[in-house]
Every structure is written in C-alpha cells, then in structure tokens.
C-alpha cells in the first residue's frame, strides 16, 4: 500500500517547495509526493471551487462550511505542492437514521445496533487522475472504519449516477457491489437523473438474506447434522464392539 503523511495545514508539510504551484502544470512524479490532511475552515473557498468543477451537483454554502469545520465528517484532502488535488468526504451514522431508500443495506437484526459509513463525495483533480489518489483517499477511510473502535460500522455505501462509468468501475474494482437502482434520484439542473447505490461490507457486516441464502443455510445445517449423526453412529458402534469384546473375554468365550 502506498505510504503517505498526515499533517496539519498550519504546519509546514515535508516538502522542499516553499511556494504554491498550479497543479495543472505539475506532473505527479510519485504517490509518495502526496500528503493527506483533514480539511479546515480556511479550505472552504478552494474546496468549493474544486467541487464545482468536479461534480454536477450544486452543494449549498452550508455544506462546505460543515465539511471544513465539523467533526461530524471524515473530510480528508490529498495535497500536492500545497494544492488540494483530491478529497473524500464521508459520514458515520447509525443505520436506523439512513434514508428510506437505503434501509435494505443491512438485515434488520443487525441494523438495530449497527453504524454505517456514507461516502458523500470522492473526487480527484482531472490532471492527477489515474495516479492512485482516489485509492489513497479511499484506503484512508477504510483503515479508519476497520479499527477496533469502529467495529460497529458494518457497511460503507455511496450513491453515484448510473452514467458515471469511471466511478462505477473504480468502486467495483474496490469490492463495492451494486445494491439498488434509484430512478430519478438526482436533480441536476432541473432534470431527474437515475442513480445506483453501491455497498462494501466490513467488520462482519452482510446484506439481508434472500430465500436462496436461507435454503443454503439450512442445507448446510442438514449436511452438518448428517455428518454429526454419522460420527455418533460410528462412535456408538465402536463402544458396542468394545463392550462385546470385554463381555466375551470375561466369560472365557474366546482365548
């Protein structure tokens, strides 16, 4: 896995560069040149400009204020030469608080006490795509959610446009599976657009069982029971033979 450094924006990053360089004109030489840090309020203007370039959705100003200042969000930036070239924004919340369209992600029995991670945004500057930046950010989130302290988080999910093939390919490559189709989920420039829900199960989480899953489960139980019965029958047979041999020996029926 790629190595990276987390640092605070207000302290100097481990770089020899002392001035900011336009990332559109700087080739990314190595993933090791990228630092990760959490967003701070001073990032609001830069992040807002980037999101307006990257995403077709118009987020309100309050959303940018929240992700750059509230500890409610896991908002991580990938920085290269002091410029933000990628970011991921996620939220951890109780499963019982997810929207209606996402209620089928976990079984009801598991969902009563489980949390889920929801990826609100993941984007990389156009000039730095296909360099592993998106994977670096997603790995940081996955590592954060698979610690012992976050064991209650049983799934990570997200929504994406059905037409966003690069995002779909990226998430499927990272073991996210298609969960549901959401017709007219997005309102983009006054037009309804369809969406997909993708899910990655972690920390022992799993989707609700289907009828086929129940059949497989009970078939496995029957096979296990049959094997157990065969084992017990064999043991009983051995005991009977031992007892019979001792009985014959006692009454001198065999030499």
What's the pLDDT tens digit per position in 22-81?
Answer: 334 345 546 788 999 999 999 999 999 999 999 998 899 999 999 999 999 999 999 999
| pLDDT tens-digit readout, 122-166 | 999 999 999 999 999 999 999 999 999 999 999 999 999 999 999
Contact 110, 205 (CB under 8 A): yes
Residues with a known catalytic role: 118, 159
pLDDT score at 210: 73
| Residue 91 maps to a domain | yes
**92: domain range?**
35-208
42 with 69, same domain: the answer is yes
Q: What is the rounded (10 degree) CA torsion for 167, 168, 170, 174?
A: 140
- The CATH code of the domain that includes 93 is 3.40.630.30
| Residue 137 maps to a domain | yes
**Per mean pLDDT, which range of 117-121, 160-164, 246-250 is the poorest?**
246-250
Backbone angles phi, psi at 65, to 5 degrees: -65, -40
Give the C-alpha separation, 10 to 40, whole Å: 9
% of the chain beyond a pLDDT of 90: 63
232 with 156, same domain: the answer is no
What are the residues whose beta carbons fall under 8 Å from the beta carbon of 66, sequence distance 6 or more?
Answer: 72, 73
pTM exceeds 0.75:
no
Domain count, the chain: 2
pLDDT score at 23: 38
As to burial, measured by CB atoms within 10 angstroms (0-12 exposed, 13-18 middle, 19+ buried), residue 68 is: buried
Give the C-alpha separation, 166 to 187, whole Å: 20
With cut-offs at 50, 70 and 90, classify the pLDDT of residue 86: very high
Q: Distance between alpha carbon 197 and the CA centroid of its chain, in Å?
A: 12
């Amino acid at each position: 896995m790629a190595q990276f450094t987390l640092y605070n924006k207000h302290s100097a990053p481990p770089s020899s560069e002392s001035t900011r360089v336009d990332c559109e004109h700087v080739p990314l030489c190595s993933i090791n040149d990228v630092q990760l840090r959490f967003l701070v309020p001073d990032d609001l203007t830069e992040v807002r400009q980037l999101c307006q370039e990257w995403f077709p959705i118009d987020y309100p100003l309050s959303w940018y204020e929240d992700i750059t200042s509230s500890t409610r969000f896991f908002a991580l930036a990938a920085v290269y030469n002091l410029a933000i070239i990628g970011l991921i924004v996620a939220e951890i919340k109780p499963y019982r608080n997810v929207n209606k369209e996402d209620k089928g992600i976990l079984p009801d029995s598991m969902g009563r006490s489980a949390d889920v991670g929801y990826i609100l945004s993941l984007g990389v500057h156009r000039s730095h795509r296909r360099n592993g930046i998106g994977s670096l950010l997603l790995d940081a989130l996955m590592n954060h959610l698979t610690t012992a302290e976050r064991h209650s988080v049983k799934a990570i999910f997200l929504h994406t446009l059905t037409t966003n093939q690069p995002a779909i390919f990226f998430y499927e490559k990272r073991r996210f599976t298609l969960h549901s189709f959401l017709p007219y989920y997005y309102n983009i420039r006054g037009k309804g657009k369809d969406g997909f829900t993708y899910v990655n199960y972690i920390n022992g989480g799993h989707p609700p069982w289907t009828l086929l899953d129940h059949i497989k489960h009970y078939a496995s139980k029957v096979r296990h029971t049959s094997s157990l019965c065969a084992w017990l029958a064999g043991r009983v047979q051995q005991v009977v033979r031992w007892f019979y041999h001792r009985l014959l020996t006692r009454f001198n029926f065999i030499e």
